[in-house]
Amino acid sequence: MYAVIETGGKQYRVQPGDVIQVEKLDGEIGGSTNFDKVMFFSSHGGEKTEITVGKPYLNGALVSTEIVGQGRGDKIIIVKMKRRKQYRRVKGHRQEYTQLLVTGVDSGSGQKYELSAEEKKTTLSKFQSHLKAKPQEAATKGN
């Protein structure tokens, strides 16, 4: 079961248990957010696959998420230069983002799936271990 949601001007394919990175949203870590801009819903299971497409959004459909992280992306460098005129400008930018754990998907027509507490716990532990492993990779890369 998965859905396509829209947030921050972008579209994301999500299913329960996914951790996605979206444009910065207000909220504290551990807080929850719901997305009602669901554009597509698919339930595949057993013999029957049901696909629902919104025009542009599905009425009553909802994707529940929990905020698991807030951060800033890698720095990008912007350079402006005019040749032979001694004009150079250098700026940097770091985009802020929010990391979300998708905890539930509701089609609005009766089909609903929520993560159990145990599934949620294992997904969060995998996510946390992935975060701890990242700085070590960066440290070994520089040598």
pLDDT band at 139 (very low <50, low <70, confident <90, very high): low
pLDDT at 132: 76
**Mean of pLDDT values over 112-125:** 89
pLDDT at 133: 76
Q: Residue 80 in 3-state DSSP? A: strand
pLDDT tens for each residue of 8-35: 999 999 999 999 999 999 999 999 999 9
Higher-confidence residue: 132 or 11? 11
In sequence order, the 6+-apart residues with CB closer than 8 A to the CB of 126 are: none
pLDDT tens for each residue of 46-90: 677 888 899 999 999 999 999 999 999 999 999 999 999 999 999
CA 127 → CA 15, 23, 64, 120, 133, distances in Å?
16, 19, 18, 11, 10
pLDDT at 138: 56
What does the angle CA 56 – CA 47 – CA 108 come to, to the nearest 5 degrees?
Answer: 30
In sequence order, what E strands does the chain have? 2-7, 10-14, 19-23, 32-35, 38-45, 48-53, 62-72, 76-82, 87-93, 96-106, 112-114
pLDDT at 74: 96
